[in-house]
Structure 1
Amino acid sequence: MLGCLEEPRGKIAIAVYLAVANGFLLLIYKGPLYQVAVRACFLGFTFGCGLLISVGQTTWTHFGWYMCSLSFFHYSEYLVTAIINPRSLSLDSFLLNHSLEYRVAAASSWVEFIVEKLLIPDLKQLRWLSLAGLLMVLFGEGLRKAAMLTAGSNFNHIVQNEKAQSHVLVTSGVYSWCRHPSYVGWFCWSMGTQVLLCNPVCVLAYTLASWRFFRERIEEEEISLIHFFGEEYVEYKRRVHSGLPFITGIRVGS
């Protein structure tokens, strides 16, 4: 598959496909709808390429798994948001432009994979380790989407500073296991992608960076939740763990 993509014909075919797809979308959709369609088309194309690489006779199989995992995560973020909370839906719901740090982290993982594949090819053929990473990805993806669906219209990608009339404290389902299942799912998913790629440097870097990000995010979010729900959330906080190791959230009086 990769050999085919490296040939001139393969490159031309991809360029023609993208040009035709974008032209077709431009004719059908206008403005914001076109922007959504282009992103969905790009993610679908990436997923398809990853699937072909995954089933092809190549040493890049695990990178194909990664491509499928990454594209599905971003597409499903938009799709599930559209289902549960369409009022908050925007292009940012794809999380493709989450932050500069996120884009740098993604690019770093690609660079590490390619460099180590060239210098230590056997490291990238640890199938049992990649399978373990794939299971982490599937678990994390499933937990995050279960959290989003359980929270329904209460879920938002942006921490809310003002309580909406429909905003309620969700403590059932996966929220009875931990207070922040969507963050736990994303944490597990992000680490899983690097285990899947057998990227030792990025496994460590992702773990530390993600832990720090979610510690700060949880503290910020829990300030709002205590403001919204008062003692009800404090009691819930005492009863249920945050879900992430060594993260207790904002401190409250005993």
Structure 2
Amino acid sequence: MPKNVVFIHGLWIHSSAWKPWQELFEQKGYATTAPGWPGDLETVEATRANPDGLNEQGISEICNHYADLISTFDEKPIVVGHSFGGLIAQELLANDLVAAAVAIDPAPVKGVKILPFAQLKSGLPVLGNPANRKKTVALDEKQFKYAFGNVLTDEESNALHAAWTIPGPGKPLFEDATANFVRHSPATVDTHTAVRGPLLLTSGTEDHTVPKEVTVAVAKLYADNTASVTEYHEYEGKGHSLTLDSGWNDVASDVLAWLESKGFGPGES
């Protein structure tokens, strides 16, 4: 069974935020990597100073970037993605490029028709200006607090903002927001017929960026795919910062337990 785990970050967060997860998974016997999006630089500081490489990096570009990286592995890895990383994880799994996938509070795939107010408000720093489609946009502390840190103290939310946030490309948000109106949207995932490895979808009940009802709607899209395993886990009281904040270990431990339950523990053969 695969021992390699690839972590994929979401919009506005640098890949180095996965370090605590990597350390935990490596302690359990996995080999891990957390490559950034195309255009990300090695550190938070470097990416903030020069984010132009992220301009016009959309869903297809990001997905192809990870597909190319994964193609260098000797065997299909497991992939764990958060937010837009969760959408990318589902695309990689549906195309049989990875052995199993965990999509933590994932950006919605094409076919989800609800748009809660909290989700709209979280995306307004980008979607509020059409010119942002070709640019990168950073969240300030207040915007991050609403989108990610709404269940956290101001102190913890501001500390996470200072430690991990980077400007994010506007293109993926515009692509996702218009997915249901575009015939060949890059947010399309074969939820109905793909024969693939197991998928875990998760949601924090207090998430503003990807509200619970959105992820539940995604799970329902998979309901008629009886050839493949799809499961849904819910985390009471958690927001979109659930992979970053002081409660991250609860989520990571649940993911590890789920992988073991599906036969993807590092000692499995």
Q: Who wins on radius of gyration, i.e. which is larger?
A: 1
Higher share in helix: 1
Same fold, TM exceeding 0.5? no
The TM-score, its normalising length taken from structure 2, stands at 0.23
The TM-score, its normalising length taken from structure 1, stands at 0.24
Larger relative contact order (Cα-Cα within 8 Å, sequence gap ≥ 6): 2
Higher share in strand: 2
